Amino acid sequence: MSAYQWLAPGRRRQNGPAGRLLATAVAIGLTALLMAMAFGVYVNRALALHLFLGGILTLAFLTITGNPRRPAGPTRISWLLVAASWAASLYFVGMNSAHAKRVPMIDELSLADMTAAILLAVLVLEATRRCIGMTLVVLVLGFLAYGIWGDRLPGSFSHRPLSAQEIVDHLVFSTNGLIGPALEVAAFLVFVFVVFGALLDRWGGGDFFHDFAQSLVGRQVGGPAKVAVFSSGLYGSISGSPTADVVTTGSFTIPLMMRTGVPPTYAAAVEATASTGGAILPPVMGSAAFLMVDFTGIPYATIVTAAIMPALLYYLIVFTAVHLRARKLALAPTLADGAPTLAQVLRRDWIYFVPIALLVWGVLKLDRPVFAGAIACLALIPIGLLRHRSPRAFLGSLVAGLNNGMGQLVAVGIACAVAGLVVGTLSMADLTGKISSGMFTLAGGSYALTLLVATTVIILLGMGMPTPAVYALAAVLAAPALQALKIDLLPAHLFIVYFSSMSAITPPVAVAAFAAASIARANPVAVAFLACRIGIVAFVIPILFVGQPGLLLMGDAAGIANTIAFVVLGAMALVIAFEGWLFGDLAVPVRVALAVAAVALLAQSGTARWGVAAVFLAFVAWRYWRARSRPGTPHA
């Protein structure tokens, strides 16, 4: 077995009738349980979490092979692991009353308690290896090893000796470990939105977003690429998963871009960049915003309101980059034959706006995201009935949608569970403060270097991991160092959310770029680097809003408007410099000058940027006037 195959996650398993039946039963059972809780039915949260973890582990072992080379059919080992998962989970369900009465870290754990807890942790690590890869398992084992033997280390990184009872009690029986906030968010918040996205897609939501985007920008130059930006952003804002977004919308947009003359690598990079942006676009924001509520106590409505402007700026710049590249490649305006107009789309598919509007209304007005997601799921039922007139066909489609949703949730749920083990180890060994202090010391107290170190840590943690799990780890490790710089709580945690999301296109493990490359049959590493260039502004925006909170709509109206105006101009100058086109090709010295101008415009303060803004706008006007005055020169 090669090193890559050893490190890589498994592949999808082809189950027999028994496996499919069990997977469907788990999907229906968890949906019934968690949807009831979303609508306000009381269920003991610890019981629900153990049932959820048992279900997620079952699906992980049923649907994912041990490694890429393993047979795709069912195996005895997979069924043995499923049985072990339910044995461990049901033990905790049965012992819930007794465990609720014990005093954590004081009352002794029985041999059965220790055995069940260790078995559950081992099963989570094995599921992590299958779903995410060995890299994360090694990282988690490193933290666990520190918790076990860290007392033997010299210097400030040593901690007090911890017994096996203490370690197991803290990691599995407390609310700061495996059964902690990260798993709660996956079960009680992410689940509802994943089900909503899966059912919306099953009942034509993906086609609706594509047609809606096609009707808006399909006739423009580079239409297919712009359709990818619009449709992926719309779908991603609901699904919150860059990889799922690529697979869903990219299967339409990437081949269409390639047929109109867009190189395969660029087509895949556009789709990956646009899909990744969905994880920072309200209302769902890759589900990390839900975790942010738990970690910070900031209301969800406040978080999504602050995130709106940076997300719109991201898509504005990606759209501009696509437009400039289309002009540079001299692509003719294209529109698929028979594509509907905007009026036709709205007349035919207006009903899709109802559940989306309910979702946004519930999130922003009620400030109850899980209830809003449940209402939105309920509002999808009429759409499903309209698409499937037969009750039997509707029920079949509903079950298929739930199975798809649970399949998408497996990796997120497992990642959140294993993140709980890391968070538990950090708090148990008091490692959080030591790492944050070390980061600050490594940067010498420098503001810029601390941001750079924090960014590097977040991106490294994010290699191959879902956004919520990355945020859960980085919020514990990096947030204290950011707050030591006197950065406010909201910008500091949004900084982490943004870089957690961007890890989906950041080499060497860029899951969204790799998924897009597989559709385009392009080099995945080349796609990842190009996606980073197209979405370069995403790596600048978080650094800007921690110093200029007006970008997050914080402050007085004049200050907010001033900040947004300069950031938009600076971002535009940056993307023009990178693309090398503005009403015609730009020479290298001009591109360098534009990059310098972008830095000046994006600076936090200084009167010089007013002059730079005037020069930049004059340059754009001059290029436009010159293009207009030359016959045959593109000027739009």
Model confidence band, residue 50 (pLDDT cutoffs 50, 70, 90): very high
**Cα–Cα distance, 525 to 405 (Å, whole number):** 29
pLDDT band at 632 (very low <50, low <70, confident <90, very high): low
Whose tokens are 């700061």? That residue is: 176
Tell me: the pLDDT tens digits for 461-509?
777 677 777 888 888 888 888 888 888 889 999 999 888 888 888 877 7
| Euclidean distance between CA atoms 5 and 140, whole angstroms | 19
More confident residue, 90 or 523: 90
Is the model more confident about 357 or about 1?
Answer: 357
Q: What is the mean pLDDT of residues 92-102?
A: 88
Secondary structure of residue 581 in the 3-state scheme: strand
Q: What angle do CA 189, 190, 191 make, to 5 degrees?
A: 90
Does residue 2 have a pLDDT over 60?
no
pLDDT for res 158: 83
Q: What per-residue confidence (pLDDT) applies to 174?
A: 85
Helix segments in 218-299, DSSP class H: 223-239, 242-259, 264-277, 288-296
> C-alpha angle with apex 342: 340 to 347, nearest 5 degrees?
85
Q: Note the pLDDT of residue 32.
A: 93
Residue 335 has pLDDT above 70, yes or no: no
Annotated domain spans of the chain: 3-135, 192-407, 555-636
> In this predicted structure, what is the pLDDT of residue 338?
56
Q: Are 89 and 50 in contact (CB under 8 A)?
A: yes
Say what percent of the chain tops pLDDT 70.
94
pLDDT at 445: 66
539 or 436, greater pLDDT: 539
Helix axes 391-428, 134-149, angle to 10 degrees: 30
- The percentage of residues in the chain with a pLDDT greater than 90, rounded to a whole number, is 15
Instruction: Name residue, tokens 């289309």.
Output: 326
Whole-angstrom distance, CA of residue 636 vs CA of residue 626: 12
The 10s digit of each residue's pLDDT in 297-325 is 888 888 888 989 998 999 999 988 888 88
CB 70 within 8 A of CB 10: yes
What confidence score (pLDDT) does residue 487 get?
86
Task: Please say if the pLDDT value at position 635 is more than 60.
Answer: no
Q: Is the pLDDT of residue 120 over 80?
A: yes
Please determine, for residue 138, whether its predicted confidence score (pLDDT) is greater than 80: yes
Give a three-class secondary structure readout of 70-134: CCCCCCHHHHHHHHHHHHHHHHHHHCHHHHHHCCCCCCCCCHHHHHHHHHHHHHHHHHHHHHCCH
Mean pLDDT of 436-446: 71
Comparing CA positions, the residue from 123, 122, 164 lying closest to residue 147 is 164
Residue 250 banded pLDDT, cuts 50, 70, 90: confident
* pLDDT of amino acid 27: 92
Average pLDDT in the chain: 84
Residue 227 DSSP label = H
Read off the pLDDT band of 21 (50, 70, 90): very high
pLDDT exceeds 70 at position 337: no
What pLDDT, on the 0 to 100 scale, is given for residue 387? Answer: 85
Does the structure show a pLDDT above 70 at 286? no
pLDDT at 262: 81
Position 112 scores a pLDDT of 92
Q: Which residues contact 605 (CB under 8 A, 6 or more apart)?
A: none
Q: What is the pLDDT of residue 633?
A: 55
Q: Is the pLDDT of residue 196 over 60?
A: yes
pLDDT band of 88, cuts 50, 70, 90: very high
Whether the CB-CB separation of 472 and 419 falls below 8 Å is answered with: yes
Instruction: Please report the pLDDT score of residue 339 as a whole number.
Output: 66
pTM: 0.81
Q: Both tokens of residue 489?
A: 């709580």
79-88, 182-191, 230-239, range with the lowest pLDDT: 230-239
Sorting pLDDT into bands at 50, 70 and 90, what band is 24? very high
